[in-house]
Amino acid sequence: PDCLLTNALIPDWNKIPLLSTEADRVQRIGQLINQLPKVNYDNLRYLIRFLSDVARHSSVNKMTASNLSICIGSNLYPNEQSSNFSTPNLYANSSIIV
């Protein structure tokens, strides 16, 4: 089965951390999100809203964006296709952008 970010786009997602500025990374993330099939886009949108709500209550639940990225990121981003970047660090760094 295909992952939420789509297997076809994984090579493009892998290149995002290599972009030099945060603005470039944010722009590229937006471009890739817009390339997702509608069902993937809708599911990702729902998931991001839910995780944002969870992070908003981090003073109670201790689930900051960084913690959520480590717990949830591995389920969105398949390890066998990920780049040579340190996977937990990639998720944590990406949480700052999102």
Neighbours of 94 (CB within 10 A): 20
70-98: average pLDDT: 61
Helix (H/G/I), strand (E/B), else coil: 63: coil
Neighbours of 43 (CB within 10 A): 13
Helix (H/G/I), strand (E/B), else coil: 80: helix
Residues found in the chain: 98
| 88-to-21, 69, 75, 77 alpha-carbon distances in Å | 20, 8, 12, 11
The model's pLDDT over 2-60, given as tens digits with 9 standing for 90+, comes to 899 999 999 999 999 999 999 999 999 999 999 999 999 999 999 999 999 999 999 99
Class of domain 7-97: mainly alpha
Specify the DSSP element, H or E, that contains 58.
Answer: helix 58-61
